[in-house]
Structure 1
């Protein structure tokens, strides 16, 4: 919302939600990738309107919505875990731990090599950065565009990765953030 407009002065966080839905929906209507369009929109607005008071209101509201939706998604996931875990084998456990402890941190580290972050900050972002919840979106998207032979096992693996990531990172993120804060 341009500065000096009535909507910019309201501080209503609903505008953030409306902007996300409008961006996502219009991009999907032209057969684009709405998920990436929303991410680009958010980064662009943050850069352009960095010093505007409304930016802080939108950020706070968006963060609250994100936490609420993540909590709802985790509760929904928890309610179907017994059904999903029926298809798991010990191989799924090894794959899940490899994804969480090796592949995701390594991919994050490599992706951040050209950034201005220190080695410690790059390590923390690599380990705790992207959440497993996005995997649900990507598996749904892929499932819409192709047929998987082992789709139930894929869903079980994704659920296991999210559960293990939530537990492992939930117990350790506080300590890691304290170390980063103390260092900075």
Structure 2
């Protein structure tokens, strides 16, 4: 397929999605379902424009999914405007730790006992499939900085955190397969992969997000400088946090999420009247006058809100473009999967059994309502993050026979999640919003 044909395809797809952006939220389908269909259409199953498999371009797939997840994690962090002392943080923390542990354990037991996988591969599969996806979950995430909905906050925070908290189990699985150093009696895994990498990732990301935000606000408030390049701030902070964390042997995913949270938290600290600032920023950006936007960007009172608004707006656009690329690629890979060998009962067990069980255990005693707990259990969306972990394992020497088996299972889970959650998200969230309004 020539570059010109790819350009036409992507251009038409983006224009169609822009024109249909107001109609799609009313339909029982998601944008990811349409992107997936486009990917299948250009594969050998359809037009034959793209012919590549999941195990032939693994480095490219790892980098693509890595970048898309990073942008989404930073966006998720920026959306979470509640203070760090807010009790709402307990829900995503419990989901990303206790529920994560239960999910990995259940998947590993089933994979070892019923699928016949060796212990290392079983734990590796658990680490790949346990995290929920921040990229494909935009319809159930926090919609605006002032959104205080408990369900949306829990799902947004979980998606931001557990892409990082899954990494220790991926490394444990690779170690048991002889592809990663665990240390005698596992000391290196505990000290480095579990404790240091998680804590350092969060600390590095939070520190860089806070320092960068303070520097930008200082230059704008005191010197009326550093204005007009907020997209560079977003991309620069993502790259800085991720690269620094990786060089420090910490988890870059957690660092990028923490950088987004820290930047949002700084904005809250620096804003004397958040409601007034948000209103002023919205009015300024609604007017096609660059002078008005620049004026409010350096205003001592409203500069924090303007920076957060501009950075989040840019990141959301990049995130949508990344979603298009990643999901179209997933659709284009499906022709190469041996679907007859996929244990579909395992896919159903994960989404309908293991996920609800892990949420019930993780949120036990939290006081969350039954309806919110059930929706939290259902919207455990799997997607781009699972594909990244799969490619990461393959590129670290996963044997070919295991790579083929884990690839088929992972893509089956991801595709099923895209379809079933895409069909159900509109009616279920609409019913939830109506019930929430009546309760208020």
* TM-score under structure 2 length normalisation: 0.38
Match of 1:29 in 2: 247
CA shift at 1:72, angstroms?
A: 0.9
Select the residue among 219, 227, 252 that pairs with 1:5: 219
CA shift at 1:130, angstroms?
A: 4.5
> Following the alignment from structure 1 to structure 2, what is the Cα–Cα distance between the partners of residues 114 and 9?
47
> Following the alignment from structure 1 to structure 2, what is the Cα–Cα distance between the partners of residues 39 and 62?
13
Select the residue among 170, 174, 177 that pairs with 2:422: 170
Assess if the C-alpha contact under 8 Å between 2:382 and 2:413 holds in 1. no
Q: Does 1:132 align with 2:383?
A: yes
Match of 1:111 in 2: 362
Give the greater-gyration-radius structure (CA). Answer: 2
> Following the alignment from structure 2 to structure 1, what is the Cα–Cα distance between the partners of residues 362 and 389?
19
Select the residue among 63, 81, 85 that pairs with 2:316: 63
Deviations 1:50-80 (A, max 9, x none): 4432212222222222222122111001111
> Following the alignment from structure 2 to structure 1, what is the Cα–Cα distance between the partners of residues 219 and 317?
24
Q: Kindly tell me: are residues 94 and 111 of structure 1, through their superposed partners in 2, closer, same or farther at Cα, counting changes over 3 Å?
A: same
Q: Aligned to 2:230, what secondary structure does the other structure show?
A: coil
Q: Aligned to 2:245, what secondary structure does the other structure show?
A: helix
Structure 1 portions without partners, runs of 5+? none
Structure 2 portions without partners, runs of 5+? 1-212, 269-273, 275-303
In angstroms, what is the RMSD of aligned CA positions?
A: 2.5
* TM-score under structure 1 length normalisation: 0.83
> Following the alignment from structure 1 to structure 2, what is the Cα–Cα distance between the partners of residues 28 and 119?
40
> Following the alignment from structure 1 to structure 2, what is the Cα–Cα distance between the partners of residues 8 and 122?
44
The aligned runs of 1:68-87 (5 Å cut-off) are: 68-84=321-337, 86=338
Q: Kindly tell me: are residues 42 and 179 of structure 1, through their superposed partners in 2, closer, same or farther at Cα, counting changes over 3 Å?
A: same
Higher RCO, 1 vs 2 (CA within 8 Å, ≥6 residues apart):
2
The aligned runs of 1:145-184 (5 Å cut-off) are: 145=396, 147-148=398-399, 149-184=401-436
Q: Kindly tell me: are residues 138 and 177 of structure 1, through their superposed partners in 2, closer, same or farther at Cα, counting changes over 3 Å?
A: same
> Following the alignment from structure 1 to structure 2, what is the Cα–Cα distance between the partners of residues 142 and 161?
17
